[in-house]
Protein backbone atom coordinates (compact mmCIF):
# COMPACT_ATOMS: atom_id res chain seq x y z
CA UNK A 1 0.00 0.00 0.00
CA UNK A 2 1.41 3.39 -1.01
CA UNK A 3 2.35 5.80 1.77
CA UNK A 4 0.49 9.12 1.89
CA UNK A 5 1.59 12.22 3.77
CA UNK A 6 -0.47 14.95 5.43
CA UNK A 7 1.39 18.13 6.39
CA UNK A 8 -0.06 21.02 8.36
CA UNK A 9 2.49 23.82 8.12
CA UNK A 10 2.95 27.42 9.32
CA UNK A 11 -0.40 27.47 11.15
CA UNK A 12 -1.12 30.70 12.98
CA UNK A 13 -4.49 31.32 14.63
CA UNK A 14 -5.33 34.23 16.90
CA UNK A 15 -8.29 35.31 18.97
CA UNK A 16 -8.36 39.01 19.77
CA UNK A 17 -4.82 40.17 20.46
CA UNK A 18 -3.52 36.73 21.42
CA UNK A 19 -2.20 33.94 19.20
CA UNK A 20 -3.81 30.63 20.13
CA UNK A 21 -1.61 28.70 17.67
CA UNK A 22 1.84 29.95 16.67
CA UNK A 23 3.62 28.63 13.58
CA UNK A 24 2.61 24.99 14.06
CA UNK A 25 4.00 22.20 11.89
CA UNK A 26 2.61 18.67 11.96
CA UNK A 27 3.29 15.71 9.67
CA UNK A 28 1.30 12.48 9.64
CA UNK A 29 1.81 9.51 7.32
CA UNK A 30 -0.60 6.67 6.61
CA UNK A 31 0.10 3.79 9.00
CA UNK A 32 0.78 6.17 11.89
CA UNK A 33 -1.14 7.62 14.84
CA UNK A 34 -0.26 11.07 16.17
CA UNK A 35 -1.56 12.07 19.60
CA UNK A 36 -2.07 15.66 20.76
CA UNK A 37 -2.51 16.40 24.47
CA UNK A 38 -3.38 19.77 25.96
CA UNK A 39 -5.50 21.53 28.52
CA UNK A 40 -8.92 22.98 27.70
CA UNK A 41 -8.58 26.18 25.69
CA UNK A 42 -5.11 25.47 24.32
CA UNK A 43 -6.43 25.04 20.76
CA UNK A 44 -6.53 21.25 20.16
CA UNK A 45 -9.97 21.28 18.52
CA UNK A 46 -9.16 24.48 16.62
CA UNK A 47 -6.01 22.87 15.21
CA UNK A 48 -7.90 19.78 14.01
CA UNK A 49 -10.61 21.95 12.44
CA UNK A 50 -7.99 24.04 10.62
CA UNK A 51 -6.41 20.86 9.25
CA UNK A 52 -9.86 19.57 8.24
CA UNK A 53 -10.65 22.89 6.58
CA UNK A 54 -13.74 23.95 8.53
CA UNK A 55 -11.91 26.62 10.58
CA UNK A 56 -10.11 29.63 9.12
CA UNK A 57 -6.62 30.70 10.20
CA UNK A 58 -4.45 33.79 9.74
CA UNK A 59 -1.91 31.55 8.09
CA UNK A 60 -1.87 27.89 7.09
CA UNK A 61 -0.56 25.42 4.54
CA UNK A 62 -2.36 22.07 4.45
CA UNK A 63 -0.78 19.63 2.04
CA UNK A 64 -1.64 16.03 1.19
CA UNK A 65 1.03 14.24 -0.84
CA UNK A 66 2.54 17.64 -1.61
CA UNK A 67 -0.66 19.16 -2.99
CA UNK A 68 -2.10 22.22 -1.25
CA UNK A 69 -5.74 22.07 -0.07
CA UNK A 70 -7.60 25.15 1.16
CA UNK A 71 -10.46 22.99 2.49
CA UNK A 72 -9.35 19.35 2.53
CA UNK A 73 -12.80 18.07 3.59
CA UNK A 74 -14.25 19.05 0.21
CA UNK A 75 -12.19 16.23 -1.36
CA UNK A 76 -14.20 13.32 -0.01
CA UNK A 77 -11.41 10.75 -0.18
CA UNK A 78 -8.81 12.78 1.74
CA UNK A 79 -9.82 13.49 5.33
CA UNK A 80 -12.55 12.78 7.90
CA UNK A 81 -13.21 14.49 11.23
CA UNK A 82 -14.82 13.25 14.44
CA UNK A 83 -16.07 16.29 16.41
CA UNK A 84 -16.20 16.41 20.20
CA UNK A 85 -19.99 16.49 20.26
CA UNK A 86 -22.15 13.74 18.79
CA UNK A 87 -23.01 14.14 15.11
CA UNK A 88 -25.52 11.27 14.95
CA UNK A 89 -29.27 11.89 14.34
CA UNK A 90 -30.76 10.83 17.68
CA UNK A 91 -34.09 9.53 16.33
CA UNK A 92 -32.58 7.07 13.81
CA UNK A 93 -31.71 3.45 14.53
CA UNK A 94 -28.09 2.35 14.39
CA UNK A 95 -28.87 0.32 11.24
CA UNK A 96 -30.39 3.41 9.56
CA UNK A 97 -27.37 5.54 10.44
CA UNK A 98 -25.04 2.96 8.86
CA UNK A 99 -27.08 2.99 5.62
CA UNK A 100 -27.25 6.80 5.58
CA UNK A 101 -23.66 7.58 6.52
CA UNK A 102 -21.73 4.96 4.56
CA UNK A 103 -21.96 4.57 0.78
CA UNK A 104 -19.80 1.46 0.33
CA UNK A 105 -21.55 -1.86 0.88
CA UNK A 106 -18.29 -3.31 2.18
CA UNK A 107 -18.02 -0.56 4.81
CA UNK A 108 -21.69 -0.96 5.78
CA UNK A 109 -21.17 -4.69 6.25
CA UNK A 110 -17.96 -4.15 8.25
CA UNK A 111 -19.69 -1.79 10.69
CA UNK A 112 -22.95 -3.77 10.97
CA UNK A 113 -21.08 -7.01 11.67
CA UNK A 114 -18.79 -5.47 14.30
CA UNK A 115 -19.25 -7.51 17.50
CA UNK A 116 -20.19 -4.46 19.59
CA UNK A 117 -22.52 -2.94 16.97
CA UNK A 118 -24.46 -6.09 16.01
CA UNK A 119 -26.46 -6.07 19.25
CA UNK A 120 -27.31 -2.36 18.81
CA UNK A 121 -28.60 -2.35 15.20
CA UNK A 122 -32.28 -1.95 16.10
CA UNK A 123 -31.69 0.56 18.90
CA UNK A 124 -32.19 4.28 18.32
CA UNK A 125 -29.15 6.47 18.78
CA UNK A 126 -30.76 8.26 21.76
CA UNK A 127 -30.99 4.89 23.58
CA UNK A 128 -27.24 4.23 23.40
CA UNK A 129 -24.90 4.74 26.34
CA UNK A 130 -22.14 7.33 26.01
CA UNK A 131 -19.57 4.61 25.33
CA UNK A 132 -21.73 2.79 22.78
CA UNK A 133 -22.40 6.03 20.92
CA UNK A 134 -18.75 7.14 20.87
CA UNK A 135 -17.52 3.71 19.78
CA UNK A 136 -20.09 3.74 16.94
CA UNK A 137 -19.06 7.24 15.87
CA UNK A 138 -15.35 6.37 15.79
CA UNK A 139 -16.09 3.19 13.84
CA UNK A 140 -18.14 5.14 11.27
CA UNK A 141 -15.43 7.79 10.78
CA UNK A 142 -12.71 5.15 10.40
CA UNK A 143 -14.80 3.35 7.76
CA UNK A 144 -15.09 6.40 5.52
CA UNK A 145 -12.91 6.02 2.38
CA UNK A 146 -10.38 8.68 3.42
CA UNK A 147 -6.59 8.64 3.70
CA UNK A 148 -6.64 10.44 7.06
CA UNK A 149 -8.92 10.67 10.11
CA UNK A 150 -8.94 13.37 12.79
CA UNK A 151 -10.47 12.26 16.10
CA UNK A 152 -11.34 15.00 18.59
CA UNK A 153 -11.50 13.57 22.12
CA UNK A 154 -12.53 10.00 21.24
CA UNK A 155 -11.95 8.84 24.85
CA UNK A 156 -13.76 11.69 26.65
CA UNK A 157 -16.46 11.00 29.24
CA UNK A 158 -17.08 7.33 28.41
CA UNK A 159 -16.86 4.06 30.32
CA UNK A 160 -13.31 2.60 30.74
CA UNK A 161 -14.26 -0.55 28.80
CA UNK A 162 -15.14 1.51 25.74
CA UNK A 163 -11.94 3.54 26.01
CA UNK A 164 -10.01 0.29 25.65
CA UNK A 165 -12.20 -0.82 22.72
CA UNK A 166 -11.78 2.53 20.94
CA UNK A 167 -8.00 2.34 21.44
CA UNK A 168 -8.06 -1.12 19.82
CA UNK A 169 -10.15 0.23 16.92
CA UNK A 170 -7.66 3.04 16.28
CA UNK A 171 -4.74 0.60 16.31
CA UNK A 172 -6.44 -1.76 13.86
CA UNK A 173 -7.40 0.99 11.38
CA UNK A 174 -4.02 2.73 11.31
CA UNK A 175 -2.84 0.08 8.83
CA UNK A 176 -5.09 1.76 6.27
CA UNK A 177 -4.85 5.45 7.13
CA UNK A 178 -3.09 8.18 9.08
CA UNK A 179 -4.87 9.14 12.31
CA UNK A 180 -4.49 12.26 14.46
CA UNK A 181 -6.11 12.22 17.91
CA UNK A 182 -6.57 14.97 20.46
CA UNK A 183 -7.61 14.09 24.02
CA UNK A 184 -7.04 14.67 27.74
CA UNK A 185 -6.73 10.93 28.45
CA UNK A 186 -2.94 10.77 28.29
CA UNK A 187 -2.81 7.06 29.22
CA UNK A 188 -4.90 5.76 26.31
CA UNK A 189 -3.63 8.46 23.94
CA UNK A 190 0.05 7.69 24.55
CA UNK A 191 -0.64 3.96 24.33
CA UNK A 192 -2.08 4.16 20.81
CA UNK A 193 0.11 6.98 19.45
CA UNK A 194 3.33 6.46 17.52
CA UNK A 195 4.21 10.09 18.28
CA UNK A 196 2.78 12.27 21.04
CA UNK A 197 2.75 16.06 21.29
CA UNK A 198 1.69 18.52 23.99
CA UNK A 199 -0.01 21.68 22.75
CA UNK A 200 1.17 24.39 25.12
CA UNK A 201 1.75 28.11 24.61
CA UNK A 202 0.60 27.87 21.00
CA UNK A 203 3.24 25.33 19.95
CA UNK A 204 3.53 21.54 19.73
CA UNK A 205 6.11 20.02 22.05
CA UNK A 206 7.25 16.42 21.27
CA UNK A 207 6.66 14.10 24.22
CA UNK A 208 8.67 10.91 24.73
CA UNK A 209 7.45 9.91 28.21
CA UNK A 210 5.22 10.96 31.10
CA UNK A 211 8.10 12.67 32.91
CA UNK A 212 8.05 15.38 30.27
CA UNK A 213 4.33 15.95 30.94
CA UNK A 214 5.24 16.61 34.58
CA UNK A 215 8.06 18.96 33.54
CA UNK A 216 5.60 20.92 31.39
CA UNK A 217 3.14 21.01 34.35
CA UNK A 218 0.55 19.00 32.44
CA UNK A 219 0.58 16.28 35.12
CA UNK A 220 1.17 16.72 38.86
CA UNK A 221 4.42 15.21 40.23
CA UNK A 222 2.63 12.44 42.16
CA UNK A 223 1.60 10.82 38.83
CA UNK A 224 5.23 10.13 37.92
Task: Indicate the range of 75-84, 119-128, 214-223 predicted with least confidence.
Answer: 214-223
Average pLDDT in the 83-91 region? Answer: 92
Average pLDDT in the 68-78 region? Answer: 91
% pLDDT > 90, the chain: 85
DSSP secondary structure letters along 120-159: TTTSBGGGS-HHHHHHHHHHHHHTSS-SEEEEESTTTTS-
To the question of pTM greater than 0.85 for the whole model, the response is yes
As to burial, measured by CB atoms within 10 angstroms (0-12 exposed, 13-18 middle, 19+ buried), residue 205 is middle
Q: What is the pLDDT of residue 23?
A: 83
pLDDT at residue 38 tops 80:
yes
Q: What is the pLDDT of residue 19?
A: 83
Whether the Cβ atoms of residue 12 and residue 58 lie closer than 8 Å to each other = yes
pLDDT at residue 50 tops 80:
yes
Average pLDDT in the 47-51 region? Answer: 96
Q: What is the pLDDT of residue 13?
A: 94
Give the mean pLDDT of the chain.
94
Confidence bin at 102 (pLDDT 50/70/90)? very high
Q: What is the pLDDT of residue 224?
A: 47
Question: DSSP letter at 73?
Answer: G
Confidence bin at 157 (pLDDT 50/70/90)? confident
SS3 88: coil
Average pLDDT in the 123-151 region? Answer: 96
Sheet holding 59-64, edge to edge: 18-29, 5-15, 59-64, 67-68
| CA-CA-CA-CA dihedral for 175, 180, 182, 188, to nearest 10 | 20
Domains of the chain by range and CATH? Answer: 5-86+144-223 (3.40.50.300)
Confidence bin at 16 (pLDDT 50/70/90)? confident
Q: How far apart are CA 124 and CA 93, in angstroms?
A: 4
Whether the Cβ atoms of residue 94 and residue 65 lie closer than 8 Å to each other = no
Q: How far apart are CA 149 and CA 141, in angstroms?
A: 7
Amino acid sequence: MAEHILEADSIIKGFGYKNLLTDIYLKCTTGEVLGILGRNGTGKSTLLQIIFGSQEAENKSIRIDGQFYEKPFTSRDKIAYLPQGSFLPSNLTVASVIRTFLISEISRKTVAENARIQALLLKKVNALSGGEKRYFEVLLILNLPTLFALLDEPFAQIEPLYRTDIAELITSYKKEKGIIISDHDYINLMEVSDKTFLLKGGTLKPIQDRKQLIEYNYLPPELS
